[in-house]
Amino acid sequence: MFGKKKSQAGLTYIAQGTKISGESVFCGDALVGGEIHGTVSSESTITIEPDGLITGEVNCQEIKVSGYFKGKLQCEKLTITGSGTVEGEVASSQMEIFEGGQFIGVRVKERTELLDSKHLVDEKKLQQIMQLDEAQA
């Protein structure tokens, strides 16, 4: 009767036609039917509906994409449904892509410097390789 109540955050719904830009933080699950541009953090699951869109950086426990995501993603589990598209850099432990779903980008199992670096290629090593090729020609 007087025990501690567990604080459970409710579902946040971003309706179709709604556009949000900037930093968004969700304590509970989030359902995105509209657009979010910017940085998104969630302690739970984010679901992007077929007409939904997120561009920017997302850090969450789990994300299900039926719409479109573009940017950098850090999560435990990524699910791309048959109508979903994910474009960008993904760091996740688990990844599932259903038939028809699209993934365009780079995936690593754990967060690495790859997601933080601006260049995917080491410029110094590239220069050394090019110089070796020129010397051999």
Q: How far apart are CA 134 and CA 76, in angstroms?
A: 44
| Structure tokens that stand for 34 in this block | 């509209």
Predicted confidence (pLDDT) per residue in 33-78, tens digit? 999 999 999 999 999 999 999 999 999 999 999 999 999 999 999 9
| pTM of the full structure | 0.75
Q: How far apart are CA 70 and CA 111, in angstroms?
A: 18
Q: How far apart are CA 56 and CA 39, in angstroms?
A: 6
